[in-house]
Amino acid sequence: MARPPRRSLTVTRQALELCRRYPHAERPTVRADRLRWIVKLQPTPFSVTYTVRVNHVTGHRPRVIIVDPALHAPEGRKLQHVFPGDELCLYYDEFDARVDLLADTIVPWISEWLYFYEVWLTTDEWHGGGIHPTTETKSRRRR
Protein backbone atom coordinates (compact mmCIF):
# COMPACT_ATOMS: atom_id res chain seq x y z
CA MET A 1 0.00 0.00 0.00
CA ALA A 2 1.39 3.42 -0.96
CA ARG A 3 2.18 5.74 1.92
CA PRO A 4 0.06 8.91 2.01
CA PRO A 5 2.06 11.97 0.86
CA ARG A 6 3.35 13.97 3.82
CA ARG A 7 6.13 16.28 4.87
CA SER A 8 9.43 14.47 5.50
CA LEU A 9 10.45 13.91 9.10
CA THR A 10 12.64 16.77 10.28
CA VAL A 11 15.98 16.17 11.98
CA THR A 12 14.55 17.93 15.05
CA ARG A 13 11.85 15.31 15.32
CA GLN A 14 14.48 12.57 14.77
CA ALA A 15 16.61 14.07 17.56
CA LEU A 16 13.66 14.20 19.98
CA GLU A 17 12.89 10.54 19.36
CA LEU A 18 16.55 9.56 19.87
CA CYS A 19 16.54 11.35 23.24
CA ARG A 20 13.29 9.73 24.23
CA ARG A 21 14.31 6.18 23.29
CA TYR A 22 17.95 6.36 24.39
CA PRO A 23 17.79 8.62 27.45
CA HIS A 24 21.29 7.66 28.65
CA ALA A 25 23.00 8.79 25.46
CA GLU A 26 24.27 12.29 24.76
CA ARG A 27 21.75 14.64 23.19
CA PRO A 28 22.08 14.92 19.43
CA THR A 29 23.23 18.26 18.05
CA VAL A 30 21.01 19.72 15.36
CA ARG A 31 22.17 22.53 13.04
CA ALA A 32 19.79 23.50 10.24
CA ASP A 33 18.92 20.22 8.51
CA ARG A 34 21.89 18.29 9.97
CA LEU A 35 21.87 15.93 12.94
CA ARG A 36 24.99 14.64 14.67
CA TRP A 37 24.80 12.09 17.42
CA ILE A 38 27.33 10.11 19.41
CA VAL A 39 25.93 7.03 21.11
CA LYS A 40 27.48 4.17 23.07
CA LEU A 41 26.10 0.73 22.25
CA GLN A 42 26.89 -2.70 23.65
CA PRO A 43 25.21 -5.44 21.57
CA THR A 44 25.73 -8.27 24.10
CA PRO A 45 26.69 -8.27 27.78
CA PHE A 46 30.13 -9.61 26.78
CA SER A 47 30.71 -7.03 24.08
CA VAL A 48 32.86 -3.98 24.51
CA THR A 49 30.94 -0.71 24.46
CA TYR A 50 31.23 0.82 21.01
CA THR A 51 31.19 4.55 20.44
CA VAL A 52 29.14 5.20 17.33
CA ARG A 53 28.68 8.40 15.32
CA VAL A 54 25.49 8.96 13.39
CA ASN A 55 25.29 11.85 10.93
CA HIS A 56 22.01 12.54 9.23
CA VAL A 57 20.82 15.18 6.77
CA THR A 58 17.09 15.46 6.10
CA GLY A 59 16.06 13.26 3.24
CA HIS A 60 19.41 11.50 2.93
CA ARG A 61 20.97 8.22 3.96
CA PRO A 62 22.13 8.32 7.59
CA ARG A 63 25.89 7.84 7.86
CA VAL A 64 27.06 5.52 10.59
CA ILE A 65 30.68 5.16 11.67
CA ILE A 66 32.12 3.16 14.54
CA VAL A 67 34.50 5.58 16.26
CA ASP A 68 35.88 3.34 18.99
CA PRO A 69 37.14 0.68 19.14
CA ALA A 70 38.12 0.74 15.46
CA LEU A 71 36.60 -2.03 13.37
CA HIS A 72 39.13 -4.52 12.17
CA ALA A 73 39.22 -7.45 9.81
CA PRO A 74 41.50 -10.39 10.62
CA GLU A 75 44.35 -10.86 8.18
CA GLY A 76 43.22 -11.95 4.74
CA ARG A 77 39.58 -11.03 5.36
CA LYS A 78 37.45 -8.04 4.46
CA LEU A 79 34.80 -6.37 6.63
CA GLN A 80 31.28 -7.40 5.64
CA HIS A 81 28.42 -5.02 4.84
CA VAL A 82 30.34 -1.75 4.89
CA PHE A 83 30.64 1.09 2.37
CA PRO A 84 34.06 2.56 1.60
CA GLY A 85 35.38 4.32 4.70
CA ASP A 86 33.90 1.53 6.83
CA GLU A 87 30.52 3.19 6.96
CA LEU A 88 27.95 0.58 8.00
CA CYS A 89 25.51 -0.71 5.32
CA LEU A 90 22.46 -1.32 7.44
CA TYR A 91 19.60 -1.70 4.98
CA TYR A 92 18.66 -2.23 1.37
CA ASP A 93 15.36 -0.40 0.94
CA GLU A 94 13.79 -0.87 4.37
CA PHE A 95 14.58 2.66 5.58
CA ASP A 96 12.87 5.75 4.20
CA ALA A 97 14.28 8.96 5.67
CA ARG A 98 10.99 10.75 4.97
CA VAL A 99 8.94 8.55 7.29
CA ASP A 100 11.15 6.24 9.37
CA LEU A 101 12.58 7.16 12.75
CA LEU A 102 16.31 6.57 13.22
CA ALA A 103 15.48 5.51 16.79
CA ASP A 104 13.31 2.62 15.56
CA THR A 105 15.42 1.45 12.63
CA ILE A 106 19.00 2.60 12.25
CA VAL A 107 19.93 2.42 15.94
CA PRO A 108 18.67 -1.16 16.54
CA TRP A 109 20.29 -2.18 13.25
CA ILE A 110 23.66 -0.76 14.41
CA SER A 111 23.56 -2.93 17.53
CA GLU A 112 22.59 -5.89 15.45
CA TRP A 113 25.33 -5.19 12.92
CA LEU A 114 27.86 -5.07 15.77
CA TYR A 115 26.66 -8.42 17.11
CA PHE A 116 26.96 -10.11 13.73
CA TYR A 117 30.36 -8.47 13.28
CA GLU A 118 31.54 -10.07 16.54
CA VAL A 119 30.18 -13.46 15.44
CA TRP A 120 31.90 -12.98 12.08
CA LEU A 121 35.24 -12.25 13.79
CA THR A 122 35.07 -15.71 15.39
CA THR A 123 33.45 -17.75 12.64
CA ASP A 124 34.31 -15.94 9.38
CA GLU A 125 30.60 -16.27 8.53
CA TRP A 126 28.07 -13.43 8.36
CA HIS A 127 24.89 -14.69 9.98
CA GLY A 128 22.92 -11.46 9.82
CA GLY A 129 21.57 -12.08 6.33
CA GLY A 130 21.38 -9.34 3.69
CA ILE A 131 22.41 -8.82 0.12
CA HIS A 132 25.60 -7.89 -1.61
CA PRO A 133 25.42 -5.31 -4.40
CA THR A 134 25.14 -6.54 -7.96
CA THR A 135 24.49 -4.54 -11.10
CA GLU A 136 20.81 -5.31 -10.70
CA THR A 137 20.49 -4.23 -7.07
CA LYS A 138 22.50 -1.04 -7.78
CA SER A 139 20.15 0.05 -10.52
CA ARG A 140 17.02 -0.87 -8.55
CA ARG A 141 18.06 0.74 -5.30
CA ARG A 142 16.64 4.23 -4.99
CA ARG A 143 17.26 5.53 -1.51
Applying CB under 8 A, which residues contact another protein? Answer: 21-24, 39-48, 78, 80-83, 89-92, 94-95, 103-105, 107-116, 118-119, 121-123, 125-133, 137, 141
Of 31 and 138, which CB lies nearer to another protein in the complex structure?
138
Of 31 and 132, which CB lies nearer to another protein in the complex structure?
132
Task: Quote the CA–CA distance of 13 and 10 in Å, as a whole number.
Answer: 5
Q: Are 121 and 63 in contact (CB under 8 A)?
A: no
**108: how many CB neighbours lie within 10 A of its CB?**
14
Of 56 and 116, which CB lies nearer to another protein in the complex structure?
116
- In the bound complex, what is the minimum distance in angstroms from residue 68's beta carbon to another protein? 13
- In the bound complex, what is the minimum distance in angstroms from residue 104's beta carbon to another protein? 6
Q: Which helix (H) or strand (E) holds 83?
A: strand 82-83
- In the bound complex, what is the minimum distance in angstroms from residue 48's beta carbon to another protein? 5
- In the bound complex, what is the minimum distance in angstroms from residue 31's beta carbon to another protein? 25
Of 24 and 33, which CB lies nearer to another protein in the complex structure?
24
DSSP type of residue 133: -
Of 34 and 40, which CB lies nearer to another protein in the complex structure?
40
Q: Cα separations (Å) of 56 from 13, 16, 30, 100?
A: 12, 14, 9, 13
- In the bound complex, what is the minimum distance in angstroms from residue 138's beta carbon to another protein? 10
Give the rounded distance of the alpha carbon of 5 from its chain centre: 25
For residue 87, what are the β-bridge partners? 65, 83
